[in-house]
């Protein structure tokens, strides 16, 4: 099959390109390198089944030419990372809403199947755990930029479902929960690459809030395998799936674990949210997905536990 990955030079997108090529597909990537990197796809450039274009998905003409030649689309191009969204609210909103509109509108012409990458952020500040796909979204006020990301991704989901219901466009929506692993940059705020880099450089470890907030981290390989399986099964069309891990850890415990594993002498520095992000910043104190739906649908399984994920990231940064 010929498959287009928008955001294919990004962290998840580039691993997806590896996995689809390994399955024998021909892969087309478009990426504007805003948060992606050419380094992520360098190893693929000699592969005759790999094609890439450094450009924006906002260019309708260019996208029209690309979409025409493929059989399937994985739409991952988006502004991501809490820090990045807060620093670039306008660009983030535009890319995350208009970009998805363009992809869905063009795919609808030949009805190619589209995977729409969404996020656990759409659940907002819930106090119900684990979070299931049937749960409501509890989003904060518009003055807090963080919530613009959740709202943009919710709009992407609404758009995809509207195309599915009204136009019979085959879509699959995946909500990613704290994905990490090799190639994830520390630049856009994600906690594991940041802590690993800080520990290895002997800088203090920046724990935001009181460190009691918790997350579940999933390895990108497991997430990519789950994503592809969802796209391979027709029963998943028109559905939304959580994709991630349900192994929970507090951010303080994560910092300690990374210090131990890197044998670092760095100190933990507690930084208030308002200083780290923006005035009035709100964090989720817990975020745990229910993975029952994806397990039932495609026998989703995790090969990496948290320890092996961190070891993997440390190895990547050492290299």
Q: Which is nearer to ligand UDP, 82 or 104 (CB)?
A: 82
Give min distance, CB of 147 to ligand UDP, in A: 12
Give min distance, CB of 283 to ligand UDP, in A: 5
Residue 170 interacts with ligand UDP (CB under 6 A): yes or no: no
Give min distance, CB of 59 to ligand UDP, in A: 29
149 annotated active-site = yes
Residue 173 interacts with ligand UDP (CB under 6 A): yes or no: no
Burial readout 166-180 (b: 16 or more C-beta within 10 A, e: otherwise):
eeebbbbbbbbbbbb
Residue in 28, 74, 123, 149 annotated catalytic: 149
Helix (H) or strand (E) holding 201: helix 191-201
Out of 35, 96, 178, 185, point to the residue binding ligand UDP (CB under 6 A). 178
Give min distance, CB of 33 to ligand UDP, in A: 21
In three state form, how does the secondary structure of 124-169 look? Answer: ECCCCCCECCCCCCECCCCCCCHHHHHHHHHHHHHHHHHHHHHHCC
By CB under 6 A, the residues from 194 to 213 that bind ligand UDP are 194, 206-209, 213
Q: What are the residues facing 73 on neighbouring strands?
A: 4, 114
Please identify, among the stretches 19-27, 32-40, 100-108, 190-198, the one whose residues bind ligand UDP according to the rule CB under 6 A: 190-198
Q: What are the residues facing 250 on neighbouring strands?
A: 214
Q: What are the residues facing 289 on neighbouring strands?
A: 131
Give min distance, CB of 122 to ligand UDP, in A: 12
By CB under 6 A, the residues from 45 to 104 that bind ligand UDP are 82
Give the CA count within 13 Å in the CB-facing half-sphere of 269: 14
Number of other residues whose CB lies within 10 A of the CB of residue 264: 18
Q: Which is nearer to ligand UDP, 108 or 186 (CB)?
A: 186
Burial label, 257 (beta-carbon count in 10 A; 0-12, 13-18, 19+) = middle
From start to end of the chain, where are the E strands? Answer: 2-6, 26-31, 50-54, 72-75, 113-119, 171-176, 179-180, 205-208, 214-216, 218-219, 240-243, 248-250, 268-271
Out of 25, 153, 215, 302, point to the residue binding ligand UDP (CB under 6 A). 215
Residue 190 interacts with ligand UDP (CB under 6 A): yes or no: yes
Residue 283 interacts with ligand UDP (CB under 6 A): yes or no: yes
Residue 251 interacts with ligand UDP (CB under 6 A): yes or no: yes
Q: Which is nearer to ligand UDP, 105 or 247 (CB)?
A: 247
Using DSSP's 3-state secondary structure scheme, residue 269 falls into strand
Q: Which is nearer to ligand UDP, 229 or 317 (CB)?
A: 317
Total residues contacting ligand UDP by CB under 6 A comes to 14
Q: Look at residues 112, 114, 110, 81 and name the one whose alpha carbon lies nearest to residue 95.
A: 81
Catalytic site positions? 149
Query: Where does this chain bind ligand UDP (CB under 6 A)?
Result: 82, 178, 189-191, 194, 206-209, 213, 215, 251, 283
């Amino acid at each position: 099959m010929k498959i287009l990955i928008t955001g294919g030079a990004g962290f998840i997108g580039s691993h997806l390109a590896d996995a689809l090529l390994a399955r024998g597909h021909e892969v087309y990537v478009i990426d504007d390198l805003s948060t992606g990197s050419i380094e992520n796809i360098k190893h693929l450039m000699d592969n005759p089944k790999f094609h890439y274009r450094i450009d924006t998905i906002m260019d309708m003409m260019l996208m029209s030419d690309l979409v025409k030649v493929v059989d399937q689309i994985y739409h991952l191009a988006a502004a991501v990372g809490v820090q990045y969204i807060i620093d670039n609210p306008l660009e983030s909103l535009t890319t995350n809403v208009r970009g998805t509109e363009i992809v869905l509108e063009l795919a609808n012409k030949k009805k190619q199947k589209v995977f729409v990458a969404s996020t656990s952020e759409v659940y907002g500040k819930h106090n119900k755990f684990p979070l299931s796909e049937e749960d409501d979204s509890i989003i904060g006020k518009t003055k807090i930029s963080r919530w613009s990301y959740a709202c943009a991704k919710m709009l992407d989901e609404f758009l995809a479902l509207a195309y599915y219901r009204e136009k019979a466009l085959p879509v699959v929506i995946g909500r990613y929960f704290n994905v990490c692993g090799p190639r994830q940059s520390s630049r856009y705020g994600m906690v594991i690459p940041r802590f690993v880099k800080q520990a290895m450089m002997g800088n203090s470890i920046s724990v935001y809030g009181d460190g009691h907030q918790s997350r579940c981290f999933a390895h990108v390989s497991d997430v990519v395998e789950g994503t592809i399986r969802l796209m391979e099964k027709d029963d998943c069309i028109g559905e939304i799936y959580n994709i991630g891990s349900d192994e929970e850890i507090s951010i303080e415990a994560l910092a300690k674990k990374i210090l131990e594993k890197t044998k670092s002498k760095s100190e933990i520095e507690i930084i208030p949210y308002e200083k780290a992000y923006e005035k009035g910043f709100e964090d989720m104190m817990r975020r745990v997905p229910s993975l029952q739906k994806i397990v039932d649908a495609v026998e989703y399984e995790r090969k990496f536990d948290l320890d092996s994920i961190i070891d993997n990231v440390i190895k990547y940064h050492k290299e």
